[in-house]
Amino acid sequence: MDSSTTDARTIVSTEPGSFAWGVLTHRHPAIIEQVGEAHPYPPEIRHRLDELREHITGTVQPLPDGGAGKSRWDRWGSEMYGQRWLDVPFLWAESYFYHLLLDAVGYFGPGPWRGIDPFTRKRAELEDPALGAELSSATEGGDGPAREHLIALLHAALWGNRADLGFRLSDSAATGHSAPGIILDDGSAEVADYLETYSTSNICLIADNAGRELIPDLFLIDHLLGMHPHRTVDLHLKPRPYYVSDATTGDLLATLERLAGIPGAARATAARLDSALGTGRLRVRTHEFYCAPLSFHHLPGDLRADLARADAVILKGDLNYRRLVGDCHWPATTSFAALTHYFPTRVIALRTLKCEVAAGINAGIVAELDATEPDWRVSGSHGVVQMSAAPTGEVSSASTIR
């Protein structure tokens, strides 16, 4: 393997002003505050939230005896305990924070707050009255040829909640000045050709966020199911709330219910997806690994086998991308294919850049952006549509998550 795919430093949070530093020092305390304000938690839970706020300013401590998932986190965190939060790998620190947050609000029980999602903002997006008006302009099949409509849906899924949904779901061109951002590495045409011509069996879509972002994902899934009569789609969701907006099965059901209440293409899409769920053409999948502080290099054997059966895996979002290529300081020109060769099947990444990790970008583009837009990696105004080659050999699987 090229040294450029092995020598990059793992991202930590020690550099003031970096994305990782900002998340740990500013975003996480703000999330604790927002969660506390969103629910009428009793004093004992509010006390635990205060303790968590103090904990994350110091050193990483293990879960108490009997804590939910303690054996796993002790295994994953044996080298992290006792270190400053800023000094441990950023991917691990983020993941452990959200586990501790769920634990603090009683999500793991026992008690009346067991299983209650603390992140209410994602549902508030569905209740926005403007959503119906936006989606009412979406048209069945778009306004142009099927291939262009597929590309428009890929771009809508890429940009997620940054897009004007009605426009993005209907616009056949899906390019140019109207786009909500700039696609730095655009394999949309290649992806569309592959999905239309070669992928006729099963496709997996590993979702990212709920709320407005899940809606274009569902429109894309509906279109993929309509392209081939024998195609099935597996929609992979989180087994429980994880990062603030991550999509769960409950979020999927709430989104389908909201779409069913909007006349036109949204209602028709919801009806077809409901039917597809009932017949098994659309299957909801989840796995404990999706809430682990590990990259996809550590896919457990059962999940690896499940993904390997797919013609392609569509991977949504920034966190999934970090887990795919490795949360490291790669040179932005590093080959995407080289970083993803280990994955058990062809992978299609739809990702808006919101952190320092970048790969597969042309050197000239990188040089221009570094000179003119120093925050291009984290601004959310740039994206990529990237597809790996099919795997050429077997890769030994990791142990099952226990």
160-173: per-residue pLDDT in tens?
866 544 444 444 44
**In the block, which residue shows the tokens 């050709």?**
193
**CA 334 centroid distance within chain:** 21
Q: What is the mean pLDDT of residues 134-146?
A: 73
DSSP result, 121-152: HHHHHHH-HHHHHHHTT--TT-SS-HHHHHHH
pTM of the model: 0.92
Average pLDDT, the chain: 90
The size of the chain, in residues, is 402
20-62: per-residue pLDDT in tens?
999 999 999 999 999 999 999 999 999 999 999 999 999 999 9
Q: Return the pLDDT at 62.
A: 96
Q: Return the pLDDT at 168.
A: 45
**In the block, which residue shows the tokens 């990188």?**
366
Q: Facing residues of 204 across strands?
A: 234, 313
CA distance to 8, 86, 137, 161, 204, per residue, from 193 (Å): 33, 44, 27, 26, 17
Q: Return the pLDDT at 155.
A: 95
58-77: per-residue pLDDT in tens?
999 999 999 999 999 999 99
Instruction: Give 78's contacts (C-beta < 8 A, 6+ positions apart).
Output: none
* Contact yes or no for 236/248 (Cβ under 8 A): no
Q: Return the pLDDT at 390.
A: 79
**Of 309, 357, 365, which is closest to residue 336 (Cα–Cα)?**
357
Q: What is the mean pLDDT of residues 209-237?
A: 95
Q: What is the mean pLDDT of residues 91-95?
A: 97
CA distance to 25, 58, 85, 280, per residue, from 54 (Å): 11, 7, 12, 47
Q: Facing residues of 282 across strands?
A: 233
Q: Return the pLDDT at 128.
A: 87
263-287: per-residue pLDDT in tens?
999 999 999 999 999 999 999 999 9
The dihedral built from the CA positions of residue 241, 314, 326 and 306, taken in this order, carries a sign that is positive
